[in-house]
């Protein structure tokens, strides 16, 4: 069996899969399905921007892992459970809104229109529990991070940086440009799953008063 996905060793029981052309969240979902069918115990499957890190409960030789990957590639995951769309209500009242307007040459209303009319893709989590990097930011809306990060970004802040947009689920330090805020609770320790937005989902923003 051959596969276009390449896996690098990542410790005794892990592999880092390069996912150059396809969607890491989709490969991650495919891996869970195939591993479940073959009763291979996975500890963690972590999508990145163009990779998937897999940690297995037991070591697996590279040849066997390649065979598993080939199966993943031929696995249709259209009906995957962990997808779906979530709409987040946003007040566009962020302290960096004027700066973003200056950097992009857009008016505030144009920024709001572009941000609310785009379907973003939840690509991967990181940085903090429930912090999800949303891709699909149109080129006109791409702004660099702040030169000096804020010591505290309020929870619920909606932000832009480079190719990503995101919602800070809880107060934390952060260097992204804050364009708005939401009352929606995106992280709940007691919920299962605790994160409202998970890799593979589509996220839309809606302006609220």
Partner 1 sequence: MLHVIHPGLFTTVQDEGRPGHAYLGVPPSGALDRGSFHLANRLVGNPSGAAVLETTVRGPELRSEASSVLTLAVTGAPAPVLVDGRPAPFDAAFRVLPGQTVQVGAVTAGLRSYLAVSGGLDLPPVLGSRSGDVLSGLGPAPLEAGATLPVGPAGLVPVVDYVCPPGVFAEPVLDVVPGPRAGWFTDAALGVLARTAWRVSPTSNRVGLRLEGAMLERLKKGELPSEGTATGSIQVPGNGLPVLFLRDHPVTGGYPVIGVVTRAALDLAAQAAPGTTLRFRVRGR
CA distance 20 to 101: 33
Joined tokens for residue 141: 């809306």
Name beta bridge partners: 165. 134, 160
Residue 64 CB, nearest distance to partner 1 (Å)? 13
Name beta bridge partners: 202. 85, 121
Which C-beta is closer to partner 1: that of 28 or that of 112? 28
Cis peptide before 193 (omega within 30 of 0): yes
Burial 118-149 (b: 16+ CB within 10 A, else e): bebbbbbbebeebbbbbeebeeebebeebeee
**Would you call 111 exposed, middle or buried from its count of C-beta atoms within 10 A (0-12, 13-18, 19+)?**
buried
By the rule CB under 8 A, 180 interacts with partner 1: no
Q: Which range binds partner 1 by CB under 8 A, 45-53, 72-80, 102-110, 175-183?
A: 45-53
Which C-beta is closer to partner 1: that of 94 or that of 200? 200
Size of the site for partner 1 (CB under 8 A): 38
Binder of partner 1 out of 23, 26, 47, 96 (CB under 8 A):
47
By the rule CB under 8 A, 11 interacts with partner 1: yes
By the rule CB under 8 A, 9 interacts with partner 1: yes
By the rule CB under 8 A, 119 interacts with partner 1: no
By the rule CB under 8 A, 92 interacts with partner 1: no
Q: Which residues bind partner 1 (CB under 8 A)?
A: 8-12, 14-16, 28, 43-53, 55, 124-133, 170, 189, 193-195, 198-199
């Amino acid at each position: 069996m051959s596969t276009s996905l390449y896996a690098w060793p990542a410790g005794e029981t892990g592999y880092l899969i390069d996912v150059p052309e396809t969607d890491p969240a989709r490969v991650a979902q495919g891996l869970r399905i195939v591993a479940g069918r073959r009763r291979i115990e996975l500890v963690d499957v972590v999508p990145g921007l163009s990779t998937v890190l897999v940690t297995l409960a037991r070591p697996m030789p590279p040849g066997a892992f390649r065979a598993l990957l080939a199966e993943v590639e031929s696995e249709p995951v259209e009906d995957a459970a962990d997808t779906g769309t979530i709409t987040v209500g946003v007040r566009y009242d962020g302290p960096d809104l004027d700066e973003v307007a200056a950097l992009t040459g857009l008016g505030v209303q144009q920024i709001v229109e572009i941000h609310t009319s785009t379907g973003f893709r939840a690509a991967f989590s990181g940085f903090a529990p429930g912090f999800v990097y949303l891709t699909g930011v149109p080129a006109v809306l791409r702004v660099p991070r702040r030169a000096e990060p804020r010591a505290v970004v309020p929870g619920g802040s909606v932000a832009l940086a480079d190719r990503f947009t995101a919602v800070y689920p809880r107060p934390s330090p952060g260097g992204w440009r804050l364009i708005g805020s939401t009352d929606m609770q995106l992280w709940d320790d007691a919920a299962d799953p605790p994160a409202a937005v998970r890799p593979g989902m589509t996220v839309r923003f809606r302006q609220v008063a």
